[in-house]
Amino acid sequence: MHPLQCVLQTQRWGPLASVSWLLLRTCRAHSSVPSTACPSSERQQEDGVQKDFSSRLASGPTFQHFLRSASAPQEKPDMEDPPPYLTVDELLGRQRKVYLETYGCQMNVNDTEIAWSILQKSGYLRTRNLQEADVILLVTCSIREKAEQTIWNRLHQLKALKTKRLRSQVPLRIGILGCMAERLKEEILNREKMVDILAGPDAYRDLPRLLAVAESGQQAANVLLSLDETYADVMPVQTSPSATSAFVSIMRGCDNMCSYCIVPFTRGRERSRPVASILEEVRKLSEQGLKEVTLLGQNVNSFRDSSEVQFNNAASTNLSRGFSTNYKPKQGGLRFAHLLDQVSRVDPEMRIRFTSPHPKDFPDEVLQLIHERDNICKQIHLPAQSGSSRVLEAMRRGYSREAYVELIHHIRESIPGVSLSSDFIAGFCGETEEDHLQTVSLLREVQYNMGFLFAYSMRRKTRAYHRLKDDVPEEVKLRRLEELITVFREEATKANMASVGCTQLVLVEGHSKRSATDLCGRNDGNLKVIFPDVEMEDVNNSEVKVRAQPGDYVLVKITSTSSQTLKGHVLCRTTLKDSSAYC
């Protein structure tokens, strides 16, 4: 008999299908290490747990129960009402030490803290020392093949650690969290027998249960995607006490279905967190003394909080001119302009940024607000992906090159001095040399301050995988990518040169990694600024000389630049309010 005990549930919404499953299988059936490798005390202990567990499992969960617990992510973990095959005690972390490692985007950084917040409440401890960990959790990324390869390589390293640990009292448990768990599901458990836990991006509330199951030597997985999970009530734990900035997740998922992108399949449908809970988190961060929040989401400016019924009849907001969507128009709810307005009022000394937006959702209200409000950074990420209208159509981005360029002009008119960044993909299906040159010319035309450039990586499940041919040879993709990087750098250096001689407001982060005598911070456009750590005046008290600390605002006169960093000398310590007029 196959040792796998698996319950499948399929749920369909629109174009997305998600398979949710909870999976349990015995240690010996899957372990690559012979059972004799287990020390007898541990084996006896495990045998006891296992028999007990197996008998409870046999008499315990029904099919209905699995369906219920599969949709449990929306509920808080209920310690008083554990699933029938676990005791309350087994659901608790019992001071086990968890080591968390994050890969990929800022959403994953935030998700790591959400996962940790949930585990901490369950009695787990966190360790920064891999060697002393009882549980290692990797928060993973699937966006490109290379991102996944990094995880596979890491798993091979961890295998050695786990094998060694099997001889100790507490066996090491390894979990894959996030997009890769969602994309590959049981393929991971089959390929890497040493993985004990799989948790998709919407299943973090289920981690205490998954870990409890893994404790008894079973593999455990929950990869159910949710229509409404936003972890609104889970406040991520601020891990570094000296941190000046934090990420605040405001929405999850994506409905855009760009033809190359795996995100809608790994992170599910778009849903927004209620405004009230976002404001509560921002207020708490302000009380903790943080000076910068970055609002996070896959399509952060498509935000639409429909949780308050009275706002649900509101007319739909206009898309940027010349932009369309792959989905039916959505109506009502509190939109991004409202949220941005509210968030920026919480603390005038707190900088507000947001990422990653979609170019289609930049109505004038948003642009005006960014222009008017001193503490909303004049920095916009506007992922173009390609400079060729033909490729943009194949990518299903919903705009042409012309519409994108018109939007750039409109943004620059609305927010003078705005700093712009973008994402580009080199070598998408069918991209010709002429298409590539169109992208080069867009980079020259816009002159971005920052850029994120990638070679196209075919992802299974996507529309491009099913309908298009990945026909640009790897070496051509890489050559085109190199060309884009070179052009981007040249243009960014030119764009940054305009800052030389200007005085910029910099939020100090700490000492420069390269030199203990220099400080490092970020300007309004999010570029790194390096300057000597010297005494300076404070604008509010000219009597005393001060040294800048992390979290201070200082004025820095820019003296030189490269494509990625600015250098200068510090003039004085100031506040955000007192420094609105510069350059």
Kindly give the interhelix angle for 106-121 and 207-215, rounded to the nearest 10 degrees.
70
Q: By three-state DSSP, how is residue 420 classified?
A: strand
256 binds, among ligand SF4, ligand 5AD, none (CB under 5 to 8 A by kind): ligand SF4
264 binds, among ligand 5AD, ligand SF4, none (CB under 5 to 8 A by kind): ligand SF4
Give me the least distance between CB of 270 and ligand SF4, in Å please: 9
Give me the least distance between CB of 243 and ligand SF4, in Å please: 26
Structure tokens at 569: 């000398």
Closer to ligand SF4 by Cβ: residue 219 or 299 = 299
Cβ(417)–Cβ(460) under 8 Å?
no
226 binds, among ligand 5AD, ligand SF4, none (CB under 5 to 8 A by kind): none
Query: What's the CA gap between 151 and 147, in Å, rounded?
Result: 7
Neighbours of 294 (CB within 10 A): 21
Give me the least distance between CB of 316 and ligand SF4, in Å please: 19
Closer to ligand 5AD by Cβ: residue 199 or 262 = 262
512 binds, among ligand 5AD, ligand SF4, none (CB under 5 to 8 A by kind): none
Select from 247, 231, 340, 338 the least CA-distant residue to 290: 247
Cβ(301)–Cβ(357) under 8 Å?
yes
Give me the least distance between CB of 366 and ligand 5AD, in Å please: 19
298 binds, among ligand 5AD, ligand SF4, none (CB under 5 to 8 A by kind): ligand SF4
Closer to ligand 5AD by Cβ: residue 454 or 488 = 454
Give me the least distance between CB of 353 and ligand SF4, in Å please: 18
- Among 108, 298, 320, 355, the residue binding ligand SF4 under the rule CB under 6 A is 298
Place of tokens 């069918």: 430
Give me the least distance between CB of 398 and ligand 5AD, in Å please: 14
DSSP letter for each residue of 450-507: EEEEEE----TTSHHHHHS---S-HHHHHHHHHHHHHHHHHHHHHHHHTTTT-EEEEE
- Among 112, 299, 375, 457, the residue binding ligand SF4 under the rule CB under 6 A is 299
358 binds, among ligand SF4, ligand 5AD, none (CB under 5 to 8 A by kind): ligand SF4
Give me the least distance between CB of 385 and ligand 5AD, in Å please: 5
Residue nearest to ligand 5AD (CB): 423
Task: Work out the widest C-alpha separation in the chain, in whole angstroms.
Answer: 82
Query: What's the CA gap between 529 and 561, in Å, rounded?
Result: 9
Does 296 bind ligand SF4 (CB under 6 A)? Our answer is no
Does 258 bind ligand SF4 (CB under 6 A)? Our answer is yes
Select from 457, 514, 15, 536 the least CA-distant residue to 265: 15
Give me the least distance between CB of 425 and ligand 5AD, in Å please: 5
Distances (CA, A) of 355 to 254, 298, 545: 13, 8, 37
Residue type, 440: V
271-272 and 251-252 beta bridge pairing: antiparallel
Cβ(530)–Cβ(519) under 8 Å?
yes
Give me the least distance between CB of 259 and ligand SF4, in Å please: 9
Cβ neighbors of 337 (< 8 A, separation 6 or more) are 317, 363, 365, 366, 369
Give me the least distance between CB of 184 and ligand SF4, in Å please: 18
Select from 419, 337, 344 the least CA-distant residue to 374: 344
Does 181 bind ligand SF4 (CB under 6 A)? Our answer is no
Contact letters for ligand SF4, residues 263-292 (x by CB under 6 A)? xx----------------------------
Does 261 bind ligand SF4 (CB under 6 A)? Our answer is yes
- Among 254, 278, 508, 520, the residue binding ligand SF4 under the rule CB under 6 A is 254
454 binds, among ligand SF4, ligand 5AD, none (CB under 5 to 8 A by kind): ligand 5AD
Closer to ligand 5AD by Cβ: residue 143 or 213 = 143
299 binds, among ligand 5AD, ligand SF4, none (CB under 5 to 8 A by kind): ligand SF4
Query: What's the CA gap between 491 and 52, in Å, rounded?
Result: 66
- In sign, the C-alpha dihedral spanning 343, 346, 348, 351 is negative
- The footprint of ligand 5AD (CB under 6 A) covers 143-144, 260-261, 383, 385, 423, 425, 454, 456-457, 459
Select from 342, 344, 277 the least CA-distant residue to 307: 277
Closer to ligand SF4 by Cβ: residue 127 or 325 = 325
338 binds, among ligand 5AD, ligand SF4, none (CB under 5 to 8 A by kind): none
459 binds, among ligand SF4, ligand 5AD, none (CB under 5 to 8 A by kind): ligand 5AD
Does 104 bind ligand SF4 (CB under 6 A)? Our answer is no
Give me the least distance between CB of 431 and ligand 5AD, in Å please: 12
Query: What's the CA gap between 217 and 369, in Å, rounded?
Result: 54
Task: Supply φ then ψ for residue 231, to 5 degrees.
Answer: 55, 35
End-to-end Cα spacing for the chain: 74
Contact region for ligand SF4 (CB under 6 A) — 198-206, 257-265, 341-349, 551-559?
A: 257-265
Neighbours of 214 (CB within 10 A): 22
- Among 183, 185, 205, 358, the residue binding ligand SF4 under the rule CB under 6 A is 358
Closer to ligand 5AD by Cβ: residue 452 or 582 = 452
Query: What's the CA gap between 4 and 248, in Å, rounded?
Result: 39
Closer to ligand SF4 by Cβ: residue 178 or 550 = 178
Q: Prior bond to 356 cis, omega within 30? A: yes
- Give residues in contact with ligand SF4 (CB under 6 A): 254, 256-258, 261, 263-264, 298-299, 358
